[in-house]
Amino acid sequence: MFAGRLYPQRFRRLALVPAGLVLAVAWAALSAAPPDALVKADFQGHPALQLANDVLELTVLPQSGAFASIVLKEDTEKMNPFWDPIRGRREDGRTQRFDGVTGHFVCVDGFGPVSDEEREAGLPGHGEAHTLPWVTQASGKEGKVATLVQAVQLPRAQELFTRTIKLVDGENVVYVHSELESLLAFDRPISWAEHATIGSPFLEAGVTVVDISKNRALTRPYGEGRRRIPHRLPSEKEFDWPMAPTLDGRAEDLRAAPNPPNSGDHTGHLFDSSRPFAFVTALHPQKRLLLGYVVKPSENPWLQIWESYPPSGMMARGLEFGTQAFDLPRRQVITQNTLFGQLLYRWLPAQSKIESNYLFFWTRTPQGFLGVSDIDFSGGQLRILDGRSGQTITLPASLPL
């Protein structure tokens, strides 16, 4: 059975109390949940929730709502594909801090830097959701389906974000349904991205490869100035994925990080809107582990690939799908309005909701699997095709998006 729904009016009152009390309420609600529906856990010294089926263990942080870890239960190595900057700072001997930016986190309402005025008003970069405590509204298991419902109010944006996560026994799939509700009386454009990010050791230079469904690609515009790590790609150049132009005049395959690494870049990708679903995947062929996202281009038309490849320390690569091509200031994005004829924002009507639906999977691959050429999601299955090796992985995926 599920706990009662926490309605926006009640949630608005709850959001006014200190963050510590909000988390205390969340833990109390968890204590009343049915056995095995949700487990209290720890992630790098921070309170966490673990939702699991008989195949996967998904770790979610109540402070920020981030998906911090996903592992296969049978994996003795417990390889987590997600970026873990907390561990990275510790290994580099840097000061430990937690700002909600880890693994796969939600950027809403905002994707990129803020203006001076927004900063003065207390709005953080990438929106508020990743900086706030999330309330567990419901958790439970009915039949084979385990569910976690969380919500967070965004006081500066005056929005309510609610997310439902489902895992089905026997499946390597996580289903995510999110709603963004306006608490204001006028329509407005919003910025919303799912900042999914892979990191070392799953992300390995020259080894881990990223594949994207049919798309139109562009390197991110940038100006001159000092940078922590140099660019290898030119500014604002359209290209055919995965072969991109480099600053030294070559064409380079972007599927894998360069080896040795020493660069930082972004590329933007417009998914093919003629297909109901688009995908982005990351494969470590030696470890035979594959992470993949399946999204609706009608809801998330854009993908940003963020490459952070320092010469030493932890690498990170963002697979960030959402409403805009690049994480840029709101004013700049809205003023530009479109790219390749596609809007760079979504409209949120007055006192109404919009939604986003996607799934992600984490699975073993057969020996010799080299990458993902296509994914078909139909008939309760994900069929993952590798055109290079001629192999296909079939995963049960019984719930619709």
Q: Is residue 395 part of a domain?
A: no
Q: Is residue 127 part of a domain?
A: yes
Q: Is residue 361 part of a domain?
A: yes
Sorted by sequence, the CB contacts under 8 Å of residue 39 that are 6+ apart come out as 49, 50, 52
Q: Is residue 2 part of a domain?
A: no
Give the pLDDT confidence score for residue 19 in this predicted structure: 46
Range of the domain at 150: 8-374
Number of domains in the chain: 1
Give the pLDDT confidence score for residue 87 in this predicted structure: 85
Tell me the per-residue pLDDT of 337-380, one tens digit each, with 9 for 90 and over: 999 999 999 999 999 999 999 999 999 999 999 999 999 999 99
Q: Is residue 242 part of a domain?
A: yes
Q: Looking at residue 107, which CATH number applies to its domain? A: 2.70.98.10
Give the pLDDT confidence score for residue 225 in this predicted structure: 73
| CA dihedral sign of residues 240, 211, 247, 321 | positive
Sorted by sequence, the CB contacts under 8 Å of residue 398 that are 6+ apart come out as 168, 171, 380
Give residue for tokens 């056995």.
35
pLDDT > 90: percent of the chain:
85
Q: Is residue 393 part of a domain?
A: no
Q: Is residue 384 part of a domain?
A: no
Q: Is residue 383 part of a domain?
A: no
CA distance 264 to 18: 38
Sorted by sequence, the CB contacts under 8 Å of residue 259 that are 6+ apart come out as 205, 206, 207
Ranges under pLDDT 70 in the chain: 1-37
